[in-house]
Amino acid sequence: MTKAEARALFDDAAAKTRERSPATFDQWFGGIQYDDLTEEVLTLRAQNEFVMEWVKTNFLPELVEQIRQASGTSVQVNWILDAKLNEPVSNTPVFAPVRPRALSVNRRGNEEEGAVESSRRMAPPDDINPRNTFFNFVVGPSNQLAHAAAVAAAGGGGRRYNPLFLCGGTGLGKTHLVHAIAHRVYEERPTARIRYVSAERFTNEFITALQHQRMDDFRARYREACDLLLVDDIQFLAGRVQTQEEFFHTFNALHNADRQIVVTSDKYPQALERMEERLVSRFASGLVADIQSPELETRVAIVRNKAALEGIELSDPVAVYLAQAVRSNVRELEGTLIRLAAKSSLTGQKVDMDFVRIELSTALTVRTQTLNVEDIQRAVCQHFRLRTSDLTSKDRHKTVAFARHVAMYLCKQRLKCSFPELGRAFGGRDHTTVMSAVRKIDGKREDDPNVRAHLEAIERKLIAE
């Protein structure tokens, strides 16, 4: 096979692999370069170790399989680390944290031209964390859709949805993605007028404008002088009728002008309480992308990424142990790593397995004792590949109903909850429904090996994580 044929084989395999998630593929393969493909060895060059590990985990198996199907030969992959890539697979660069670019002024007489350019360049968005970029966001099955949609919303390719509604629990990465969108847009379009605001801040600015009779200025800021609106924690508008009214008209003005709107919430649009129906329908009219709790593999990647960013030496076994110990959310996981590194620095101890085990022993004991309904529901949903909202919905599909019954049974067995309490936790169901579900699964556990296998797998997951 000639070099040209080998390259064509790789390009075809890469194109087919890209079809699964074009935006995510482009983002990460901007840091990967093809070097060579012989009959048995594929040589790839990675910009850094983190990019290499992520691609190995998320894209490499499919890429190698595509090559095997096309050539009839299995290949091994040889990796080379190189910070400077001459011909990356994707033209989309792997973005580093964005900083405002210095203004280039010709000092030989073009002061006037420089002044014009300076007036056009907008100030960077307020309250944006410089580390919250797409490059620093670890993508896994739990957040892949949200990440791809965010990249598209920032103009990174793929279908752009407007509005984009990101929902998920605390500390799972919603704000990180919103900041990443702002960074990407500002990097590519420095003149873009970006408004990033929390629902609480929007409300306070609205009230201040009313008090000081400056509503025209307020509306101009959010409706006319705005190319991208990013709103965090929209659930805090609940019950604020006047603010919802104002936001409704702001939303319509921007949407009609085809200006991107991104909103985050800890709940799905339909689950937002005391929110006007017309606003809920607007939120649901675009793409609703949820972010679930990260899987173990994703949590390990997050730990490694954070350690690399903070300059913390961390072995693979320690990274896995941390990921198993802290599973509630990304923020807590990263915070735990920082606390361990801080104590290590103060005491002079190395962040090794013994050190981490001792430091986390108390926290692990407390976590085991505080297992709750949400933990079990999440484990059941991950096992059956469902969403948590499916368990509380009215959906009676066989798969959903069975998973719901299993979750009810495990909650009753492992937690000191009454049947009425469990009924409320599963979408306001009657306590007799819960009793029936528990009895049904209890009976099948002894007689049906498939049911027993499901239960044992979920229980192992609860113990391990």
Q: Please name which of 65, 86, 57, 85 lies closest in space to residue 12, comparing C-alpha atoms.
A: 65
In this prediction, residue 105 carries a pLDDT of 32
Peptide bond preceding 163: is omega within 30 degrees of 0, i.e. cis?
yes
Q: What does the block give as tokens for 403?
A: 């998973």
pLDDT by residue for the chain (465 residues), tens digit each?
788 889 999 999 999 988 877 767 877 888 899 999 987 889 999 887 767 877 887 788 889 889 888 888 888 888 888 878 888 998 765 443 333 333 233 333 344 444 434 445 666 666 788 888 888 898 888 888 899 999 999 987 667 899 999 998 888 899 999 999 999 999 888 889 999 999 999 999 999 999 999 999 999 999 999 999 999 999 999 889 999 999 999 999 999 999 999 999 988 888 888 899 999 999 999 999 988 878 888 888 889 888 888 888 888 888 888 888 887 678 888 888 888 888 888 888 888 888 888 888 755 544 445 678 888 998 899 888 888 888 988 888 888 999 999 999 998 887 767 888 888 889 889 888 999 999 999 888 878 878 888 888 888 777 655
* Mutual angle of helices 49-58 and 22-29, in 10-degree steps: 150
On whether the CB atoms of residues 225 and 122 are closer than 8 A, the answer is no
Helix ranges (H only) for 72-110 are none
Structural domains in the chain, sorted by start: 3-81 (3.30.300.180), 144-291 (3.40.50.300), 296-369 (1.10.8.60), 373-464 (1.10.1750.10)
List 229's β-bridge partners, or say none. Answer: 195, 261
DSSP symbols for 115-183: HHHHHHSPPPPTT--TT-SSTTPPP-TTTHHHHHHHHHHTTSSSPPPSSEEEEESTTSSHHHHHHHHHH
Q: What is the pTM of this model?
A: 0.57
